[in-house]
Structure formats: structure tokens, C-alpha cells
Amino acid sequence: MRTLSIESNGRLDKTAVYINAEQVGKIKELYLNLDENGTFDAILTYENKNGTISTKQLFTDYLDDLIIVEPMFSEEEAMDMQLLTIESSGDIEETHILMNNEDLDGIMSLMIHLKIDTIRNNGVFGFFKKNDSLGTTSFKAEIEFRNQDGTTSIEGIF
């Protein structure tokens, strides 16, 4: 079982990803697509200590040379954040999801897509420099619940 925690306020620059309680740095993309029918896509793209970019199955692959960083948030800052925790072995049947340390149930699907593109800060003269790495930064995090009356609802996580 591996534990993935995402602590955020809905902004990518204020997002910390923990794997087994250690904050990971230099993540390029995190993609989670889980649903009750057995879909289990959990992909992590990150830069390792050698500077190379690796793409791995988050809960099943061996994550070599992860860059571990100091915790981003203090306890006070963490009070304003939402903390999503996923404990899983890579199988939907053995997946446990917590929100702010409280169990979530009735989940139909979970979709998280966090992605960053290289951002260059060229200061004032950035206007005159060509940015060759334009792309899209993505922050999508939703859970679809089945309500007790049989209806479904989609809620943002952070």
C-alpha cells in the first residue's frame, strides 16, 4: 500500500504532494482517474535527481530517485488547505480515500489532473523574450458522488 496525499487550496503554486508522508518536488504532472467500475489510472510524471523526466504508475511502480523537499506548509498554513489522501495498492478494491483525514464514501469516480509547464521568469524584459515552452497549466480535481436519493453530484476537491 502506498499513500498519496495532496494538500492544496486549488492553486497549483500552493499544492504539495506527499508520497508516504514525504513531500515530493519537481512534479510535472499528476493524473488520477479512478472509478467504481475498476478504472485505475494513476500516473506521475516527475523530474528525478538526475534531472531526467520519468513517468510512472503512481501506486505500483518503483519511484526511483524522487526529489524529496522540505514541507511547504506550516501548521497554520495547512489549516487553510484541503488535504486529500489516497491509500491504495493500485487496485480500486483496495483503495481508501480520505478528505481532511475523514473517510469518504459513495464515490463514483475521482479525477485529478495537475500539470505544470515550465515557467520562465524573465522579469520586466520578459516581454521581449521568446517563450518556447508555452502550454497549458492544468488544475482539475473533482469527485463524483452518488447521493442517498440516487442522484449524483460532482464536487471540486480543493
Partner 1 sequence: MKSYRVHVSMSKYLVLLILSIVTLIIEPTITVARGGFGGFRGGGRSFGSSRSFGGSRNSNSFSSRNNSFGGSRSRSFMSGKDYQQRYGVPRKSQTMSMNNGRGGNSNYVAHSYGGRGDGFMAGYMMGMIPWYWHTPFHPAFYYSQPVILNGANGTREVYPGTFSTGSLLLVLLCLAGIIFIIYAIIRSRRQQDFSSSSFG
**Residues at the interface with partner 1 (CB under 8 A):** 11-17, 23-28, 69-70, 72, 114, 116, 119, 121, 123-124, 126-127
Q: Which is nearer to partner 1, 115 or 146 (CB)?
A: 115
Least distance to partner 1, CB of residue 138, Å: 10
DSSP string, 55-121: EEETTTS--TT--B---SS-HHHHTTSEEEEEEESSSGGGEEEEETTEE---EEEEEEEEE------
User: At 22, which amino acid appears?
Assistant: E
For partner 1, the closer CB: 77 or 142: 77
Indicate the residue among 71 and 145 with the shorter CB distance to partner 1. Answer: 71
Q: How far is the CB of 121 from partner 1 (least distance, A)?
A: 6
**Beta carbon nearer to partner 1, 36 or 49:** 49
Whole-number Cα distances in Å, 114 to 28, 31, 35: 8, 6, 18
Q: Which is nearer to partner 1, 11 or 130 (CB)?
A: 11
Shortest Cβ distance from residue 126 to partner 1 (Å)? 8
Amino acid letter, residue 147: N
Amino acid letter, residue 62:
Y
CA distance 147 to 105: 10
Residue 84: which of 138, 1, 141 has the closest Cα? 141
What is the closest distance, in whole angstroms, from the C-beta atom of residue 3 to partner 1 in the complex? Answer: 15
Least distance from C-beta 12 to partner 1, angstroms? 5
